[in-house]
Structure 1
Amino acid sequence: MKKVLIATIATSLLLTGCAKRIPPVKKEINNTFVSNLSYDKSWSKAVRVFAKHQIDIDTLEKDSGLIVAKYTQSYGANSGFMDCGKSARYEVLDSVNIKFNVFFDEKKENETEVMITATGQGVTYVTNAYGQKAPNTRKLVTCYSTGKFERDFFNMM
């Protein structure tokens, strides 16, 4: 039994090595934009932005000015929307779940303030020397917006 425990600990140390995960950097981003369009036109354009990026909209509450959308980025498909940090040796970022909350506030007849908050959570796992998923190594990591989606969104508005 003692040999099995020692072998298990040695294997774990070998898989993870001395490398540590580098956490993501939370950056100050511009998440507010003032559109020179009416509330209705701003709203319509925003819905089209989500459609163009193929992001599913969960909630559309035009009267309260809220759009909630969710997007899952699978392994290998890097949208650049989120920073989940740098993986440790043998650690793989499998997917990133992103939630976008977009708030609309009509300031004047042709002036609408649009604010986006984007949050993300990544899923990682450890691989063995053959690139296979090691059992029971799934881990959730915090991801922060890079500001790319917000820039793309505002440029399309």
Structure 2
Amino acid sequence: MSVEIGQLVADFSAPATGDTTVTLSELRGKQVVVYFYPKASTPGCTTEGGDFRDHKAAFDAANTVILGVSRDGLRAQENFKAKQDFNFELISDKDENVCTIFDVIKLKKMYGKEHLGIERSTFLIDKEGKLAKEWRGVKVTGHVEEVLAAAEQLDAAS
């Protein structure tokens, strides 16, 4: 059962880079972009993270926090963040608690083999903690600009 547009997103706390724990309810009053990517340091995930990094000032101006999430361990997330100079935190969701809230674990095929993995997805949460918009099965090119436009629009409306 995944969260629906307009519904309150279930609160979660998860270990993140920078020796922090991210708790969703502590971010109330700000908009939150939660983007899920399959694996740290892979080409598509590096491009997507870089796009969020390069647009962070605009997200900040729209009162929006960026959080990246994958099932990688904290060390892999820290290395990925440092190597790519990401200016936002990455959540390590090894137990898939955050993935489950957003229902992003899907059956995928790679080289003819089926496996469960993260479907590249992004969610925009409003200042009250409700899901405002979702993008599933994301294609990286142009995606961050689309998310930013939605965040700016939501911020202007509130």
Say yes or no: TM over 0.5.
Answer: no
Calculate the TM-score normalised by the size of structure 2: 0.23
Which has the larger share of helix? Answer: 2
Which of the pair has more CA radius of gyration? 1
